[in-house]
Amino acid sequence: MSCSAENLPPQVLARVAKEVYKLASAPPEGVKFVPTRADNLGTIYAEIEGPTGTPYEGRFFDLKLVLPSDFPQSPPRGFFLSKIYHPNTNPLTGDICVNTLKRDWTSVTTISHVLSVIRCLLIVPFPESSLNDECGKLFMESYNDYAKRARLLANLHGRERSVAANDRQQITDDENTDPTGGVSRNVAVSKESKKAGRAKTNEKSKKKKNLKRL
């Protein structure tokens, strides 16, 4: 069960806020925190850079950690938002299977550590606990064939560059936290169109006045 910030006890909320601040100011290698609205600490968004020497090298992938209502007694759930071909990622839901989010979880495990482990999972998959059986089987039988397919899909779905924080914040806010379901964006566009229309009208009026003077 996921939660929103208001469902977290004050002491837990303070811990999450502290961890998010540390994640933003001193992130693990290859990990970038993606800022969202301050009232949405129940879901942590991040961006992972494909590690060197892997099929994901040079590509950037979005993911999120969803905190449960009894966090930190229970671990968050991890999801890749970018499609990725990997034994430990569900190809339909993006759900991530890693021991740190299951049997190895402890109440003192940090969000930064979780994200670092997920990135390491791109270097060393665990096909024995795969969520993508076809991918896990291919990894075991022919790493070269697995790497070739993983690279192909990484080029297709991963980004070539890291997106600026303010751009990612706008994208995340628009897609996930806009309570109007996109209406506010339409209203903003409509206002800009009206301003442009008024500017054109004023320009035409000025030209007519100038012609009359002539």
pTM of the entire predicted model:
0.74
CB atoms within 10 A of CB 64: 20
Please, which pLDDT band fits residue 5 given cuts at 50, 70 and 90? low
Element (H, E) at 150: helix 143-157
Please, which pLDDT band fits residue 86 given cuts at 50, 70 and 90? very high
Give the catalytic positions in this structure. Answer: 97
Report the Cα 172 to chain-centroid distance in Å.
8
Q: Are strands 77-80 and 60-66 parallel, antiparallel or unpaired?
A: antiparallel
Looking at 24-38, 97-111, 132-146, 164-178, which range is the least confident one? 164-178
Interval 191-207: pLDDT, tens: 444 454 555 555 555 55
If DSSP codes are grouped into helix, strand and coil, which group holds residue 77?
A: strand
Q: E-strand spans in the chain?
A: 31-34, 43-49, 60-66, 77-80
Percent of the chain topping pLDDT 90: 61
CB 101 within 8 A of CB 75: yes
Q: If you average pLDDT over residues 126-135, what whole number do you get?
A: 93
In this prediction, residue 193 carries a pLDDT of 44
Q: Which residues contact 110 (CB under 8 A, 6 or more apart)?
A: 19, 22
Q: If you average pLDDT over residues 36-46, what whole number do you get?
A: 80
Average pLDDT, the chain: 81
Comparison of pLDDT for 143 and 164, the residue scoring more: 143
Looking at 8-17, 82-91, 135-144, 153-162, which range is the least confident one? 8-17
In this prediction, residue 38 carries a pLDDT of 57
Q: If you average pLDDT over residues 84-95, what whole number do you get?
A: 97
Q: Write the CATH number of the domain with boundaries 5-177.
A: 3.10.110.10
Q: If you average pLDDT over residues 1-15, what whole number do you get?
A: 72
Of 150, 126, 151, which Cα lies nearest the Cα of 140?
Answer: 126
Interval 17-36: pLDDT, tens: 999 999 999 999 999 999 87
Is it the case that residue 1 has pLDDT exceeding 90? no
DSSP 82: S
Domain range annotation of the chain: 5-177
> Is residue 51 packed enough to be buried (19+ CB in 10 Å), middle (13-18) or exposed (0-12)?
middle
